[in-house]
Structure 1
Amino acid sequence: IERLYGWASAAMVALVREGYPASPRQFVISEGPSNSFDGSTTMGGSGQFTWDLSFNALSESLLDPETTRLILRHIIANSDFETVPMSVPQAWDGYRAYPNTVGAGQYCFDYVAAFLFVQGYVTATGDVDFLTTPILNNHDGRDATPLDFLRAIAWAWKAYPASTESPYLVDYGANKRSFLEAAETYIDVIAALQAGNAGMLLSLARLLESVPSLPRKNADEIADLRSNGTRIAEDMMRYQFVPGVGAWKCLKASPYVAPVEVRCIADSVYVGLSAGLLAGHAHSALDGAFPMSAAARRDMVDLVFRELLGNGWVRALSPLDPSMANISCRGGFHG
């Protein structure tokens, strides 16, 4: 663990920059020409996407907890709790620091990413008091705590239309800019997002149980979180998992359109986080009690090693994904 942290922190320190408006130090994660803050033009620049930041939440929290806390305050203060679905901002270097107001958006992976970012900071630093710290929201002028924020994003899925297969599996639409643009078929009812929803609900239930001093919304909150999270996970396994392959299906908005199998790393990552696969034990970053059989876990891990790891890289999409049928992979594919 110390070696992994050493590698991660060395990479971040190599990119550290000072003098940006957002915070005293920025660990730049995106290089390239300047772009628009709303992402409407070429991506690049010195960007701090909330989704990207979530993957180095633990490392940055250990390396520079002050900067991490400032970024989280920025995200929570500028999230719009009143929009349906709620909106979450990015954390661009060029933005002036909190309490400066910035706009928020509905990039679908930002819900689980922001949850992981807050969770990573609290886990790494032990700063449980942060969860009940009032932060003035720049959109509605009311105080919201990080715990309020976790609740809001854990339930954000309820604002999306239910799939035809299950009221617990929701349809995020077909706008590719709302997702990780790995494949044109990676739209609608995406397994990674359903897994994130289940994981957030189950994880929040475990947090409230583990820290009795945290205020509960009502007497049934933990039971509601756990029952909804479990139903999402159960219906994912029933309707989206491909047994024997380890892949997942994107369900379609129309009952007349067949589900599409997608072999995407994002599904493996977020199901892995929720089911405990990435931690190698029963409890992981997003879990509570994700109902996934040992055989299904083996299938998913085998898919990753068989098709998504190779040539020194982790592939975003398997060369055997159906969308790649007419695309030639330079250098060939060796499973």
Structure 2
Amino acid sequence: MTLINPHHRMLYRLMLISSIALVTQMDSRLPAESTNNQSAVPSIDEMASEWLEVDQIAHMPSLHNFHDMAACAPDLVGVNYNPDGQLFDWPTGPRWFRYLTLPLLKLKVNGIEYDSTTCRWYPHQAVRRHSIEGLDLKTTVRMQFEGAGLFYKLKVSNSSNEDQSVELLLEVPGIKLSDTEEPIVAYESDDQKLETAHAFGDSTPEPESAKSRLEMVHAFADQPDQIEGLPGAVRARWIRELKPGETATVRLVMSHGQNTEKFPSQETVNKATAWASNFEETWNTVKSRWQDRWNDVFDPENDHFSGWLPTLVTSNEKLSDIYYRSILTLLVLHRTNMAMCDRVFVTSGERDKGVVFFWDTSMWSKVFALLEPEGMKEHVKLFLSCDPHKGPVFGMDDGRQWEGWYAANDSTIFTFVTEYLNVTGDMAFLDEKVGVKTVLEHLDSLATNWQKLQRDKSVMLADYGENRNLLECAPAYIHRVPSFNAANVWMMRATADFYEQHGNMKRADQLRDWANEFALSVLDLYKPGEGVWYALHRNGDRVELRHCYDFVCIGRFMPVDLTPRMKEEMVDFVERELLTDHWMRAMSPKDKAAAESDRPDHGPMGAYDAWPALTAESMCILGAWKPAFEFLCDTQDVLYEGVYGQSREFYGEDRGDRDAPVRIAMRGACMRESVGGGAFAEMIIGTLFGFRPQADQQLKLYEADIDRGFKGKLLNVRFDNRLLDISSNADGVSFTYQE
């Protein structure tokens, strides 16, 4: 396996510093860099969202700590939190997610409970604000880094010209402990929905009650003026007299744990009291460790990941923002507390612990292989141990595959495995057994599983099932669809290449013959002049599809089979019916099923967050580099909420317009963050910079002579146990090895 020797990492760090300095000298328009190897990478403060109007968003800010996720309530202090469990409840909405959560804090200011009016997301914290009659309220919450707790700062500022008296009332769930010097409030949960495993859309508790109970303990860094017991809660009161310009601050902490014996456990109490007594250090440590972990992503000598990602230096601010926020999305969803592997990227934080969808994870396979090759190899083995014609998810904590079937499983697992091989060069892995098959035999099975899906052997194409097996919200997108059948063509050709490298020309030739025959069947689904494709339903009907996913797949998997005219027509369709000023529509409003397909990720009123990246990539593959790059940069406009989600939707009265406003969607159980956003970094590395290594071959950048439309450099790219830098300018892309 050709991974970087840890003893060489300091040398690579020095090389990166030199490369940044060289790039800056070459183009005065590029950002000035210091000698710090992180100087081209934005800080976590710079990666914050804009200040968001609460009445315009569908998700409040989230909190992540590499173990868990929490979600702010729309008030000023509540945090929805279900440690180690599924966070969102079903059904969702209508305004916000419903959550499976420990009870929330409640805050009253001068006797009134206020909702926040503006909020701001940071990687390491969430901030909410509200202003009333000369008082500015601001609350900030952080999660203990890889730990079990929440930390709160509540600030009230007098922005008037007169003295003001302020009463803060904080209702804390639980009971006040009688045997502590300072007030401690402890709560023990009897909610059987918490700490249980749930299938998608199910919040039914497991039949067996847990042997331990979830408990939380609150302690105050700023002692209240008064403590009062309430049924099921404790009310803490602070009274402050503020002169104009003065600010009052209240700080408190919450620790949580599992109680198996006496309530509350001494460990949970001790954590809370220690944090409260040393609040500022505890508070600051969260941010510093988050910053360190962010730096680790780009540092060749980091001691957390087994790899790292390239540093992008460019004068194009939109491209830079897309790249770094795409990677930050993955870091937000990084988890280090899973039983099956300690380097995991969950698909989204709201689902049950350890949920990893094959499909979403495959969309940034190259990025995964560069950042965490050792963990990726563990994932590959686990994924290949699964039945691809069962569920779409592998649980990285419980080691179980979901039931059901996603039509994408064959091609997405195949993508994941082959990108690992191509990026790492670990060709010996092809002969390693996973279960009873070698990895190569697994790839062969994935590439030829279409044979099991031919309901009618007189038709070459595979049948990928019903709506629930495919896009879930597009009733006509069923049965013999072009997208996954095109993937079969690519998988067979790629597997044939591996067989040829192994000297098995007989199997390679057979797979290539099948692929060519299969390609003709896919091409027969094309609608000339429109740039769109048909699905072949089981009853023989050819049903027109006007969806981005066929464009994405056929552009990626069968470009050599398309005529120049077909390529032009396909791009014209996308530009004419799918792209908008800031985002795109997954399905054309002209699709006959559009009225029945209004889900933000796959319907006409939004798009799954990976679709724009993959669409831009296929536009490049089909020759439309300039409009693809312009579209990609236009999508940076939607990143004002922080990072990438499961999908973004058009909203408001003008949602059907080309310049419709865009936000992270909640409808249809769309999650606030999702790893599909990693597809943007994947596209920038693999297409714009052309880094598409092929196992056991010399590196050749993709379409190297084509002007990408920007000037910049991708530094510290790992290939074949060496480091290289890739440059982009008007002449195309080129690379140089670091000496």
Q: TM-score range, shorter-chain basis?
A: 0.7 to 0.9
Larger displacement relative to structure 2 (200-209 or 62-71): 200-209
Partner amino acid for 2:448? W
Distance 1:104 1:68 in 2: 23
**Match of residue 462, structure 2, among 170, 177, 188:** 170
Q: State the one-letter code of the partner of 1:232.
A: F
Closer/same/farther in 2, CA of residues 103 and 133 from structure 1, 3 Å limit: farther
Distance 1:170 1:33, change over 3 A: closer
d(CA) in 1 for partners of 2:405 and 2:444? Answer: 17
Aligned partner of residue 183 in structure 1, secondary structure: coil
What secondary structure sits across from 1:31 in the alignment?
coil
2:450 equivalent in structure 1: 157
Secondary structure, counterpart of 1:322 in structure 2: coil
Deviations 1:14-51 (A, max 9, x none): 332211112112222213253xxxxxxxxxx6521011
Give the whole-Å Cα distance in 2 for the aligned partners of 1:152 and 1:20: 29
Judging by fraction of residues, say which structure has more helix: 1
Deviation at 1:107, TM superposition (A): 2.0
Which of 47, 59, 63 lines up with 2:355 in the alignment? Answer: 47
Superposed displacement of residue 2, structure 1 = 5.7
User: Is the CA contact 1:79–1:89 (under 8 Å) kept in the aligned structure 2?
Assistant: no
Contact kept? 1:30, 1:46, Cα under 8 Å = no
The more displaced of 323-332 and 290-299 is: 323-332
Alignment match, 1:229: 515
Contact 2:489 / 2:558 at 8 angstroms: preserved in 1? no
Shift of residue 163 of structure 1? 5.0
Residue 547 of structure 2 is aligned to residue 264 of structure 1:
yes
> Which amino acid in 2 is paired with 1:48?
V
How far, CA to CA, are the matches of 1:10 and 1:191 in structure 2? 33
Q: For residue 223 of structure 1, what is the amino acid of its counterpart?
A: D
Q: Which residue of 2 aligns with 1:108?
A: 407
1:58 aligns with 2:337: no
Cα distance between partner residues in 1 of 2:455 and 2:351: 39
Change (3 A) 1:63 1:320: same
Task: Give the residue type in structure 1 aligned to 2:393.
Answer: Q
Q: Does 1:309 align with 2:579?
A: yes
Deviates more, 1:3-12 or 1:187-196: 3-12
Aligned CA distance change for structure 1 residues 57 and 5 (closer, same or farther; 3 Å): farther
Q: Tell me how far 1:132 sits from its aligned partner.
A: 1.2
Structure 2 length-normalised TM: 0.36
Cα distance change of structure 1 residues 133 and 104 upon mapping to structure 2, 3 Å threshold? farther
| Residue 198 (str. 1) matches residue 489 (str. 2) | yes
2:438 partner amino acid? T
> How far off is 1:308 after superposition?
2.2
Cα distance in 2 for residues equivalent to 1:7 and 1:157: 37
The CA deviation string for residues 68-120 of structure 1, in whole angstroms up to 9 with x for no partner, is: 1111110112337xxxxx55763223224xxxx65675421100101111111
Residues 109 and 193 of structure 1 are in contact (CA less than 8 Å); yes or no, is this contact kept in structure 2?
Answer: yes
Structure 1 equivalent of residue 561 of structure 2: 291
- Map 1:1-335 onto structure 2 (within 5 A): 3=312, 8-34=326-352, 46-79=354-387, 87=390, 90-96=393-399, 102=401, 106-135=405-434, 137=435, 143-162=436-455, 167-173=459-465, 175-209=466-500, 211=501, 214=502, 216=504, 219-238=505-524, 240-255=525-540, 258-276=541-559, 290-324=560-594, 331-334=655-658
Alignment partners' CA distance in 2, 1:275 and 1:118: 20
- SS of equivalent to 1:310: coil
CA contact under 8 A between 2:394 and 2:401: conserved in structure 1? no
Cα deviation code 1:247-303 (max 9, x no counterpart): 111111113xx3111111211111111124xxxxxxxxxxxxx42111111111222
In structure 2, the CA distance between the partners of 1:47 and 1:102, relative to structure 1 (3 Å rule), is closer
CA–CA distance in 1 between the matches of 2:323 and 2:553?
21
Distance change in 2, residues 1:114/1:325 (3 Å): same
One-letter amino acid of the structure 1 residue matched with residue 537 of structure 2: K
Give, in whole Å, the separation in 1 of the partners of 2:345 and 2:480.
33
- Following superposition, the deviation at residue 159 of structure 1 comes to 0.9
How far apart are the structure 2 equivalents of 1:72 and 1:324? 37
CA distance 1:117–1:105, shift in 2 (3 Å): farther
Alignment check: 8 A CA contact 2:533 2:546 kept: yes
Q: Is the 8 A contact 1:21 1:95 kept in 2?
A: yes
Assess, with a 3 A threshold, how the Cα gap between structure 1 residues 119 and 8 changes in structure 2: closer, same or farther: farther
1:309 deviates by 2.2
Assess if the C-alpha contact under 8 Å between 2:359 and 2:408 holds in 1: yes
Question: What is the Cα deviation at residue 128 of structure 1?
Answer: 1.3
Amino acid paired to 2:658: H
- Seen in structure 2, the aligned counterparts of structure 1 residues 71 and 33 have a Cα distance that, compared at 3 Å, is closer
Range that drifts further, 46-55 or 324-333? 324-333
For the 8 Å contact 1:182–1:316, the answer to whether it is kept is no
CA shift in 2, pair 1:157/1:76, >3 Å: same
Structure 1 unpaired stretches of 5+: 35-44, 81-85, 138-142, 277-289
Q: Percent identity?
A: 27
CA distance in 1, matches of 2:405, 2:416: 17
Contact 1:241 / 1:247 at 8 angstroms: preserved in 2? Answer: yes
CA–CA distance in structure 2, aligned partners of residues 118 and 14 of structure 1: 24
CA pair 47-313 structure 1, distance change in 2 beyond 3 A: farther
**Shift in Å, 1:130:** 1.4
The 8 Å contact of residues 411 and 487 in structure 2, kept in 1 or not, is answered as yes
Report the Cα distance in structure 1 between the residues aligned to 2:349 and 2:583, rounded to whole angstroms: 20
Deviations along 1:166-203, whole A, 9 cap, x unmatched? 63112233x32211224111001101011011111122
How far apart, in 2, do the equivalents of 1:105 and 1:120 lie?
26
**Which structure features the higher share of strand residues?**
2
Contact 1:242 1:248 in 2 (8 A): yes
For residues 481 and 513 of structure 2, the distance between their equivalents in structure 1, rounded to whole angstroms, comes to 21
Whole-angstrom CA distance in 1 between matches of 2:655 and 2:516 = 43
d(CA) in 2 for partners of 1:30 and 1:311?
A: 27
